[in-house]
Amino acid sequence: MATIKNNLRNLVDKARLLISDDRPPRFATPTAPMNAPSLPIPLSLMNLEHQQELALLLAPLSGPQPCGPALRYDPIFTEIRLAREEDDPSLPMGQWERPLKKADWPLIENRCKAMLSSRSKDLQIAVWLLEAWTMQYGIDGLYRGLSLVDQLLRQFWEPLHPAIQDGDADARIAPLEWLNASFSMTMRVQMPILKINGRKPPAQSLFDWERMTARELAGQPGEPHADGEAPLTRIEVIAYARQRLGRELSTRLQVVQRCLNCLETMLAFVDLQLGGQAPNLSKLKGTLVAVERVLQQLVPEEREEEMTTPEEPQGGEEVIGLAAGLAPPAAALSGWKNRDEAYAALGAIADYLSLVEPHSPTPYLLRRAVNWGRMPLPELMAEIIREEGDLNRLVNMLGLRE
């Protein structure tokens, strides 16, 4: 025990020297931009047609009002609301069974684009368009939608609808709060991260990944699907992704990182404008970060340049059994390939437990462990050592006993 304390004391002394050193630090402390523009949209991530479409939607309307009149009570709002309604297939209908109602996303997209480009620039319409794009085009659609909302806010803050009246921004931020409270869950459950040919359904969402990871770490076998097909394992998904979807998922990872950039610049701008009234979008950001973690596991950084375009099976054959058709990489068979993957898995587990056990402190403790694992030594020591010579607290926190 004395040896452990001596080693910890040496670490603390070195950390204090680094913290108190007057010389410039060797690493820069990142700061959030207050009004930074979004990064330029690369042609490889958003095609020219979509860029031109964004430019059309962001062009000022003709007339004295660049955003046009407020049309919140126009019939088109009611039409869009009704078109968004759909039934939850997981809920029993009993004796009232009928065909499930599905949202008409193409109709919603067309109505929203017509409104923004020719009649009225309303944040609620822009958010509905973001939703329609995401439901139809996945992560690529989300990127287009976040780019639209980000630039709409920054270019038309004053005249944008709904207006800020007498300093009350509740109506203005309501669509953003909906993105955080409701749409973030839709993204987690319905937005595909990858698609696996031969599976029913082929799309794998963030929720599917979190449920699979938590189930395997708990040692619980997955229940077979209705057609008797065995559930996928984490190793099988990683093997499929790395061998068949390398370049596609590498590009998707870049798109997710652009989504995070759009969200950061939007938050910085809104914070600057509203101060304490600014909305909290931590759930939306947390969902995007969780998607980024999963893609980083499926496409390791050191292999991104080696990825090749996936080839379809010859003769129109579908990939029905992953275990039979693909040999998982040796590294995947032995567990996580590196510490980043292990920490990413912990983050995914924390996100999953937050959904199924929101009352439990476990997700918060897991996230703290992940944050500690990514801290430089000076920052870690500064957080843990609160008082001079407080080594007993550190020993207890690390679970070391005499």
* pLDDT tens by residue, 221-274: 666 655 556 777 888 888 888 888 878 888 999 999 999 999 999 999 999 999
Token digits of residue 247: 């370049």
Coil vs helix vs strand at 165: strand
pLDDT at residue 182, rounded to an integer: 93
Q: Which of 44, 131, 40, 33 is nearest to 80 (CA)?
A: 131
Beta bridge partners of 192: 205
Stronger pLDDT, 317 or 351, i.e. the higher one: 351
CA torsion 336-341-344-349 (nearest 10°) is -10
Up-side HSE of residue 270: CA atoms within 13 Å toward CB? 24
pLDDT at residue 28, rounded to an integer: 35
What percent of the chain stands above pLDDT 70?
66
d(CA 238, CA 241): 5
Only one residue has tokens 């809920």, namely 91
**Average pLDDT of 28-57?**
62
**Average pLDDT of 144-168?**
94
Stronger pLDDT, 43 or 383, i.e. the higher one: 383
**Average pLDDT of 298-303?**
66
Q: What is the mean pLDDT of the chain?
A: 77
Angle, helices 123-155/246-274, rounded to nearest 10 degrees:
80
pLDDT at residue 253, rounded to an integer: 93
402 with 1: CB under 8 angstroms? yes
Look at residue 325 and tell me whether its pLDDT is greater than 50. no
Look at residue 146 and tell me whether its pLDDT is greater than 80. yes
Question: What residues contact 126, with CB distance under 8 A and at least 6 apart?
Answer: 112, 116, 145, 148, 149, 152, 175
**Average pLDDT of 200-226?**
78
86: Cα separation from own chain's centroid: 24
**Average pLDDT of 362-366?**
79
Coil vs helix vs strand at 168: strand
pLDDT at residue 288, rounded to an integer: 95
Residue type, 42: P
**What is each CA distance from 83 to 71, 124, 154, 249, in whole angstroms?**
18, 15, 29, 32
User: How much is the pTM?
Assistant: 0.67
Coil vs helix vs strand at 384: helix
**Average pLDDT of 102-107?**
94
